[in-house]
Every structure is written in C-alpha cells, then in structure tokens.
C-alpha cells in the first residue's frame, strides 16, 4: 500500500484524481465504497530480474491505479456475477421479448388460423380502435365489452393477451396505457376455452 | 493378499465404486495395479488434457464408462475465449479405433461436433448413456445421429448446452424399435419439436423414468405424455401455459393425480401461474424442485407452491422469491439439504433480491443444509456467523454478492470474520466461493481451518501475496484454485511450486503475476502445462518478462503441452 502511495506521489496522481469537492481541499476520511475497484492492492516485492523493464512495468501499474481511482460506480465486469452464459442468454431473451413489446409490435394469433399476424399497438389510441382493427384483420366480431361480463354478444371469440408475468388476461380490463406497456402478445381465443375468461354465454 | 488368486482380488475391488478408492488401490503394489486396471470399467478424468486417450485405452482395456471435463470452470462465465480447446473428437476417434466397448460418455464443458456425435453413434454397438453438460459445438443433426444409430440407448441427457437447433426432425430419428429409453432431457433446446414423434416415443418407452421437455412442448402434449408415462420419477415441463378453465387443463389435473412417482420437478420455462394448482397434489412427494428458469412464477404464487413441498431436499429458485419467501422455505422445507438461489436479473441493479436475512432464516429452519449457492444483494458478518453456527454440515458453500467488493453494510467492515466462522465451523467443507470485501485475513482463516477444502474460488479479494500463500500452505487437500482480480503475484505463485502437482489446476486472471513468473514456473516444473491466454494481442511474441499476464491456466499433465492449442494460447 505504501509503495502504491509513493508511486502515486511520484506520478502526481493526486492532481488528476477525480473527487467531490473543490480543488485544494484534502479529503480527511476515505469513504468505503462499493465500487469494483480493488483499492487495496499493493505491489509485490520483486527482484531486479523479475522486473525486466522497470519503467514500463511501473507505468502500466500506475495506469491501472489511475483507472481504478476514476472507475465508475457500477461498471459491468466481465464474468460477474458468475452465472453460466446459458442461463444469462435465457434471461436476456426474456428481457428482449419485453423490449420488443415495448416497441409496439406484438404477435396476434387467432385460434385455428394457419399463421399469425403482427400489429403495432402504438398506432391505436384505445381499445375500440384496436378491436376494430382485429375484427377487420381476422374477419370476426367480439361484441361489446362490459366489466362484469366481458364480451357479450354471444360471439365465440374473445380477445386475450399475455402480460409481462406470463398470465393470460382479458383485453379491456386495464387502462389503455397500462395495457400497451404490459401486453406481450395477443391471442384471440375461440370456443370452449373462451368460456370462463370473460364470455357470457 | 498375495496368496489370493486374481479373481478374488478382483471381486473385492468390485465393491469399490468411487474412482478415488480405485485409484488408491492401484498404488498399493504392482499386482494390485494390474488386477485393478483390468477390472476397471468406470473412469473419471477431471481434465481432458492431463492424460491422452491412447494412455487411457492402454491402461484400462475394460473401459465402459468415461467422464471427461474440458474447459476451466471460469469458461462458464465468458472468461475463456471461444476456441480455447476441450475437443472430444480425439477421444472418440481413439476409442472407436480401439476395442473398447464404450457404453457411457459424460462430458462437461467440452466442444462436441456433429461429426463426433455421428462417429460415437456408429462406433459402439452397446452405447447406452450420453450426458452433455455445458457443452457446445453441435446441432440437432448430431442428436439425430445418436437417436438413429444407438439401438440400445437408455439415457440422453442435455443440460444447459448451447445447441444449434435445426428443429424438429431429430426426435423422429429414434427408430420404432427403440424402446429402451429411461431418461430423456432436451430442455435446453430452443427450437420446435415434432410433438407426434415425442408422444409416440414416450408411448413405446415403458422404462422411461426421467423426462425433461423444452419450451416448444405445450401443456396439451404434457397431458398426453403423462397419460402414457405415469411412472415418471423426474419431470421437466415445457411450456406450462393454458386457460385454467379449459378441458385440457382439467384433464391434466386428473392425469397428474396418477403420477405418484414424481420426485423431481423442473421446467416451467413459460408458465401461467393460475395453472399451478394442478401440480399441488404431487408437491408433497417432491424431493427436488428446480424453478430457477421459471421467471413467470413469483410473489404469492411462488410461496403458495412452496408451502405444498414439505419434503424437499433440493431447491433451486430465483432471487425474486425474496427474504420473505425464503422464510416460508425455512418453515416448510425442514429436510432441505441443497439450496441454490439464482439472480433473476443477472445484470440488475438493486431490485428486490435476497439479503442476509433470507439466509439466516434458512439456516434456522433447515439444519440439514449442506450445499449452498446464494446470489444476494448483501451479506453481514453477523449473519454468516449465525449461519455457521446453525449449519455446521456445509460441504459446499458458495456465496456471490452481486456487487463483488461490498463490505458488511452494517459495520462497513470486510467479511473476513464471517467466512472465517464458516470454515471454522464446517469441518467437512470441500468447496468454497468467496465474495464481498475481503482482506488477507480471510485467507489466513481458510488456510488454518479449511482442512478438507478441495476447491476455492476467489474474486476481487485480498491485499497481498500473503493471502494466496496462506491458502497454498494451509489447505492440504486443495485440488482446484481459481482466482480473478486479486493482488497475488510472482512471489505467491512461485513459493511452493511442488504444490501444483498435487492439484488438478490453478487459474489466475487479472492478478499481478508476470510473464517472468509464469516462465520460471514452467521451467522448473516440466510436468505442468503453464498456459497463457493472450487475447486481443495483449502481448507480443517478444513481450517483456515484466509484463503482467492477463490470464494464466496451469494444470498437471502426463502428456506435455497440448497440440491443439489455438494461436492465442501460449504454452510456456
């Protein structure tokens, strides 16, 4: 530790040190920090032999010291936390799904249809517009929405969506803005499965 | 013992199943060596570069079951470049050429190609078991070859591998005559699955006891499969999403009631929490539950589920369970032996993860706990001391504080005393991973008390070479030491060079070791491979000896420098 400080003085690291406060004021107490820097490193005792070129070695150490003092509070460190890449990739995929939904485009499936569609939720101003667009796209109708009974024109189709938690919810219950921020995909349920999820039959 | 015929010796040795026991026995005298080697069927090789396939085959002609590990452990965390090595191909080639009747192959952190799998599938008529953990380099085409050609396949177990998924067909490659499957795990595959093939495969596998599905298998298929395989012991669900008021879900509820043998449950890669009640009836029988990929279950749903699982011995969960959830675990799962709490947001910055309180609660409620992996926001010395007192039986203790140099937030002191209490109390401790603010003191404790320690993982810890010296001098049973971002240098590295021949390997990255130190070690110890990983041209060929080495990996070996090292790996 002493050698580090001596070296620091030699290279006048203090002058370039980043800190809070006016220049010229000495910090009396070193705050313990939760940053990544290893501020307790000391240089190993080394033979003449082992040093090769002392100057370049000192320079690289000093550079490291400098970097450590200036490092940001929560830099992302390679390989930390120690989680297998497989697991990290799985969870990254999950957050990317969320990000995709944040861009507005979500998949829409209709039970029984051969392929899915994608729509941009951000284009619509509210539920009536969205439902109309879905009805046009898939050629079906859902009827009127009511809080107590869901969709009730006797249609066998019910619009549902998957939210951030992975739950399947009835379209229309929550405020529009909450809906578009939490909707990951849409599914227009049909038939017996639609019963119970808000289709008064 | 010299008066016994060889057959008697062999019969006695049959009772020795652990490879360590058999290794010890083979050292007694040349007679025992000879008898042991001809009768050995299972071989474990912890470092594939420590020995060559040819030497293996020569010594153990009766080999049936081989376990190989390739890359160093820190490769799991992206610290080892992509084509570092660890190829299984030369092993399979050599075994295929020989007369070895290989039946089982278990690989961890190795590079496996489709060609390797194809060769494997064609070379051993009696091949039964393939287990791949954390491997890469192959696609579902390789799996198709295994399915098609291994006529007596019993186990195909893929755990957390990066597999290029060409989708669909490999499952259909199991011939109709294949009825021997006992274990099938393809949870890590990302692509689509031919569901009809899967159902037919299960239908013709009466001995199937372990089945782990991937995300592409929907709940409807799960229900049909469980109808055909009510004797399953180990189940991993795929996508567990449905409308809880549907007929399919009701059928599932009834079907699951028949599955009284399920003891391990995992999966829920996608989940609709309202469908969880279907599994409550089997929860009471569970001894192992892995929800560490079930990000969709949290809060009260998760707790409700846990409350049903009173007999759990092993639990893997995400930290979104929170301290409160861990209190529920502590009060419900009194038989718990192994707990792993993974971060649900590996890059996260302070969401509701777990803290020392959760761990203390666990230690009170689960006195049988012996294996722990715990990712947390923070830890205190007081908590660790309490845990050490409540759970003296730890064999594996791995603590990972998400901010790796965080001190005790209450006292602002390093966590030396906390970990010191752990090693002092847990006399059987074999594996330890440290984190948090730590000085040389913690290593003094480890060297003094951790007499059974075999594997130690250190990051961002210590003040000086003394730290590493305490460990090297004190831990007589140390086999694997991996260190990153610590101020340990040449002095520590070179203090006891003979030690490394008693160990499997040493990894040091971002430490103070220089090229001179590594070269010196390599010169003095010819039976070690001292490898420098030189990424991004950090070092020129004519690098000065005083330059710090970014990554060093050394290991004992009987076969000298490896010939498959890529350009950026230098063997000194």
**pLDDT in tens for each of the 572 residues of chain B?**
567 888 899 999 999 989 889 999 999 999 999 999 999 999 999 999 999 999 999 999 999 999 999 999 999 999 999 899 999 999 999 999 999 999 999 999 999 999 999 999 999 999 999 999 999 999 999 999 999 999 999 999 999 999 988 876 899 999 999 999 999 999 999 989 999 999 999 999 999 999 999 999 999 999 999 999 999 999 999 899 988 889 999 999 999 999 999 999 999 998 998 899 999 999 999 999 999 999 888 888 999 999 999 999 999 999 999 999 999 999 999 999 999 999 987 665 556 689 999 999 999 999 999 999 999 999 999 999 999 999 999 999 999 999 999 999 999 999 999 999 999 999 999 999 999 999 999 999 999 999 999 999 999 999 999 999 999 999 999 999 999 999 999 999 999 999 999 999 999 999 999 999 999 999 999 999 999 998 766 666 566 788 899 999 999 999 999 999 998 898 88
What residues in A contact B272, CB-CB < 8 Å? Answer: 166-168
Orientation angle between helical segments B219-228 and B247-257, nearest 10 degrees: 30
Cα–Cα distances in angstroms (integers) from residue B396 to residues B376, B430, B440, B507, in the given order: 17, 6, 22, 20
Using an 8 Å CB-CB cutoff, list chain A residues near B406.
34
Provide the chain A residues 36-65 that lie in CB contact (below 8 A) with chain B. 36-38, 40-46, 49-54, 56-57, 60
Predicted confidence at residue B348, as pLDDT, reads: 55
Contact criterion met (CB below 8 Å) for B104 and B66: yes
- How far apart are the C-alpha atoms of B198 and B212, rounded to whole Å? 12
Interval B13-42: pLDDT, tens: 999 989 889 999 999 999 999 999 999 999
% of chain A at pLDDT higher than 70: 49
**3-state SS assignment for residue B193:** strand
Interchain CB distance below 8 Å, B544 and A52:
yes
Whether B508 has its CB under 8 Å from any CB of chain A: the answer is no
A109 touches chain B (CB under 8 A): no
Contact B77 A165 (CB under 8 A): no
Is the Cβ of A127 closer than 8 Å to some Cβ of chain B?
no
Which residues make beta-bridge pairs with B315?
B289, B339
CB contact under 8 A, B412 and A34: no
Please say if the pLDDT value at position A20 is more than 60.
Answer: no
What was the pLDDT predicted at A65?
40
- Interface-testing mutation among B189, B269, B346, B520, with chain A (most A C-beta atoms within 10 A): B346
At A49 the pLDDT is: 37
pLDDT at A75: 52
Bond prior to A81 in cis (omega within 30° of 0): yes
Which of B271, B346, B517 faces A83 most closely, judged by CB atoms? Answer: B346
SS3 at position A56: helix
| CB–CB contact A166 B241 (8 Å) | yes
Yes or no, beta carbons of B77 and A79 under 8 Å apart = yes
Q: How far is A60 from chain B (nearest CA, A)?
A: 8
Residues of chain A contacting residue B493, judged by C-beta atoms under 8 Å apart = none
Assess A30–B contact: CB distance below 8 Å, yes or no. no
Question: Which of B402, B547, B548 is nearest residue A81 as measured by Cβ atoms?
Answer: B402
Question: What single-letter DSSP state applies at residue B275?
Answer: G
Residues B543, B516 contacting (CB under 8 angstroms): no
Selecting from A45, A52, A193 the residue whose C-beta is nearest the C-beta of B545 gives A52
Q: Is residue A46 predicted with pLDDT exceeding 70?
A: no
- Determine, for residues B400 and A81 on separate chains, whether the beta-carbon distance falls below 8 Å: yes
Q: Say if CB B116 and CB B138 are below 8 A apart.
A: yes
Q: Residue A114's pLDDT band (boundaries 50, 70, 90)?
A: confident
Query: Which of B436, B463, B433, B460 lies closest to B446 in space, CA to CA?
Result: B433
CB of B145 closer than 8 Å to CB of B121: yes
pTM, 2 dp? 0.78
Is residue B380 within 8 A of residue B407, CB to CB? The reply is: no
- Tell me how far apart the alpha carbons of residues B328 and B358 are, in angstroms, rounded to a whole number: 10
Say which residue the tokens 């220089």 belong to.
B514
Closest chain A residue to B436, measured at CA: A34
pLDDT reported for residue B178: 94
Please name the residue ranges forming H helices in B405-464. Answer: 416-425, 440-449
Tell which of A166, A197, A199, A201 to mutate to test the B interface (max B CBs under 10 Å).
A166
The answer to whether residues B271 and A165 touch, using CB atoms and an 8 Å cutoff, is no
């Amino acid at each position: 530790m002493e050698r580090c400080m001596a070296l620091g003085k030699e290279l006048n690291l203090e002058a370039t040190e980043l800190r809070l406060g006016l220049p010229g004021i000495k910090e009396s107490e070193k705050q313990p920090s939760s940053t990544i820097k290893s501020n307790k490193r000391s240089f190993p005792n080394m033979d003449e032999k082992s040093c090769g070129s002392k100057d370049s070695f000192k320079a690289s150490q000093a550079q490291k010291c400098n970097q450590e003092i200036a490092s940001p509070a929560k830099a992302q460190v390679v390989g930390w936390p120690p989680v297998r890449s497989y697991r990290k990739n799985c969870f990254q995929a999950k957050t990317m799904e969320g990000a995709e939904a944040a861009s507005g485009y979500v998949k829409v499936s209709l039970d029984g249809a051969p392929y899915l569609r994608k729509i941009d939720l951000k284009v619509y101003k509210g539920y009536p517009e969205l439902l109309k667009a879905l009805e046009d796209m898939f050629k079906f109708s859902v009827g009127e929405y009511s809080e107590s009974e869901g969709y009730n024109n006797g249609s066998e189709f019910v619009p549902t969506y998957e939210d951030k938690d992975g739950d399947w919810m009835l379209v229309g219950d929550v405020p529009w803005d909450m809906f578009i921020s939490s909707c990951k995909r849409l599914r227009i349920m049909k038939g017996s499965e639609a019963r119970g999820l808000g289709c008064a039959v | 013992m010299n008066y016994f015929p060889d057959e008697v010796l062999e019969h006695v040795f049959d009772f020795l199943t652990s490879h360590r026991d058999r290794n010890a026995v083979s050292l007694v005298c040349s007679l025992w060596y000879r008898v042991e080697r001809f009768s050995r069927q299972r071989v474990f090789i912890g470092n594939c570069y420590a020995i060559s396939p040819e030497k293996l085959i020569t010594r153990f002609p009766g080999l049936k079951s081989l376990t190989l590990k390739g890359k160093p452990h820190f490769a799991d965390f992206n610290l080892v470049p992509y084509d570092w090595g660890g190829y299984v191909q030369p092993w399979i080639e050599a075994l295929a050429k020989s007369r070895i009747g290989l039946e089982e192959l278990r690989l961890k952190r190795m590079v496996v190609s489709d060609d390797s799998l194809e060769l494997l599938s064609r070379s051993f008529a009696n091949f039964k078991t393939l287990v791949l953990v954390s491997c890469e380099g192959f696609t579902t085409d390789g799996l198709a070859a295994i399915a098609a050609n291994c006529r007596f396949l019993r186990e195909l177990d893929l755990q957390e591998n990066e597999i290029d998924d060409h989708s669909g067909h490999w499952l259909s490659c199991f011939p109709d005559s294949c009825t021997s499957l006992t274990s099938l795990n393809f949870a890590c595959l990302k692509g689509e699955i031919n569901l009809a093939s899967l159902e037919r495969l299960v239908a013709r596998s009466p001995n199937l006891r372990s089945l782990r599905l991937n995300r592409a298998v929907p709940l409807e298929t799960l229900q049909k499969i469980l109808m055909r395989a009510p004797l399953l012991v180990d189940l991993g669900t795929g996508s567990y999403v449905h409308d809880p008021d549907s007929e399919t879900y009701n059928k599932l509820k009834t079907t699951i009631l028949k599955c009284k043998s399920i003891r391990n449950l995992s999966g829920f890669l996608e989940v609709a929490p309202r469908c969880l009640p279907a599994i409550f009836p089997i929860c009471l029988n569970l001894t192992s539950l892995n929800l560490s990929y079930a990000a969709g279950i949290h809060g009260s749903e998760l707790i409700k589920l846990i409350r049903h699982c009173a007999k759990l011995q092993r639990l893997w969960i995400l930290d979104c369970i929170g301290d409160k959830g861990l209190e529920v675990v502590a009060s419900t799962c009194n038989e718990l032996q192994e707990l792993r709490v993974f971060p649900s947001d590996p890059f996260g910055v302070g969401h509701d993860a777990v803290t020392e309180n959760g761990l203390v609660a666990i230690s009170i409620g689960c006195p049988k706990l012996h294996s722990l992996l715990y990712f947390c926001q923070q830890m205190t010395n007081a908590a660790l001391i309490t845990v050490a007192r409540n759970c003296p039986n730890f064999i594996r203790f791995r603590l990972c504080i998400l901010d790796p140099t965080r001190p005790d937030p209450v006292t602002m002191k390093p966590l030396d005393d906390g970990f010191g209490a752990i090693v002092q109390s847990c006399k059987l401790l074999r594996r330890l991973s440290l984190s948090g603010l730590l000085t040389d003191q913690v290593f003094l404790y480890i060297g003094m008390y951790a007499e059974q320690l075999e594997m130690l993982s250190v990051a961002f810890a210590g003040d000086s070479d003394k730290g590493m010296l305490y460990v090297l001098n004190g831990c007589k049973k140390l086999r694997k030491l991996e260190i990153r971002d610590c101020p340990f240098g040449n002095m520590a590295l070179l203090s006891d060079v003979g030690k490394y021949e008693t160990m499997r390997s040493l990894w040091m990255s971002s430490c103070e070791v220089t090229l001179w130190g590594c070269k010196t070690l390599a010169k003095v110890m010819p039976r070690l491979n001292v490898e420098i990983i030189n990424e991004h041209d950090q070092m020129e060929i004519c690098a000065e000896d005083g330059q710090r080495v970014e990554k060093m990996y050394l290991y004992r070996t009987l076969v000298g420098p490896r010939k498959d090292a890529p350009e950026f790996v230098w063997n000194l």
